[in-house]
Amino acid sequence: MNAPVLNLGSVVSAENAIKILRTTTGEVVVAIGRRPDRSWPALKLILDGQDYATIHPGAIVTAEADVAELTIPLPAMPNGRPHSVAIADAATGTLAPGSNLRPIATETKLRALVIYPAGEVHEHDKVRWYRAPMEKLLSDYFNIGDMIVYDSTLKLLRYAHLEPMKIMSPTEADIERYASEFDYVFVRGSNFIHENMDWFRAVEVLERVKLPVYAIGVGAQASQNRRIELPEPSRRFWSIVAERCASIGVRGAFSAETLRQNGIKNVEVVGCPSIFRTRNRDLQIRIPDQREIRKVAFSLRREADKSYTADPEAYLRNQKAALLKVDSQSEMVMSSHGEQEEKAFFLRDGAAKEKAVAEFVKTKWWDGPDDTAMRRIYEKQLFSFFDVERYDEFARSIDLAVGYRVHGVLPAVAHGVPGVLVAYDTRSQELAETLKIPVVPEAALAEGGWRAVYQEAALNTLAKSYAASYDRMRGFLDRNGIPHRM
> What is the spatial distance between Cα 197 and Cα 293, in angstroms, rounded to a whole number?
41
**Burial class of residue 310, CB neighbours in 10 A (0-12, 13-18, 19+):** exposed
**Segments of 258-357 assigned E as strands:** 267-269, 295-299, 331-335
Residue 218: exposure state from Cβ atoms within 10 A (0-12, 13-18, ≥19)? buried
Nearest to 149 by CA among 270, 310, 284: 270
Strands (E) located in 60-189: 67-73, 85-89, 111-115, 120-122, 126-128, 161-164, 184-187
Look at residue 465 in the predicted model and tell me its pLDDT. 97
Do 303 and 424 contact (CB within 8 A), yes or no?
no
Average pLDDT by stretches of 10, the chain with 486 residues: 48 74 96 92 96 92 86 86 93 96 90 97 96 81 90 98 98 97 96 94 97 96 82 97 97 95 97 98 97 97 73 90 98 94 94 96 95 98 96 97 95 98 82 94 95 96 98 98 97
Query: What separation in angstroms does the CA of 259 have from each of 50, 368, 379, 477?
Result: 35, 45, 44, 19
Strands (E), 59-143: 67-73, 85-89, 111-115, 120-122, 126-128
Residues 6+ positions from 398 with CB-CB distance below 8 Å: 295, 296, 297, 333, 412, 417
- Alpha-carbon span 66 to 190, nearest angstrom: 35
Give whole-number Cα distances, 424 to 99, 146, 218, 266, 308, in Å: 42, 18, 19, 28, 7
Determine the Cα–Cα distance for residues 81 and 283; give it in Å rounded to an integer: 39
Which residues, at least 6 apart from 481, have a Cβ–Cβ distance to it below 8 Å? 21, 22, 23, 24, 29, 104, 212, 246
Measured CA to CA, the distance from residue 13 to residue 287 in angstroms comes to 46
pTM of the model: 0.93
pLDDT the model gives residue 381: 98
Exposure pattern of 162-180 as b/e (b: 16+ CB <10 Å)?
bbebbbeebeeeebeebee
| Res 6: pLDDT | 41
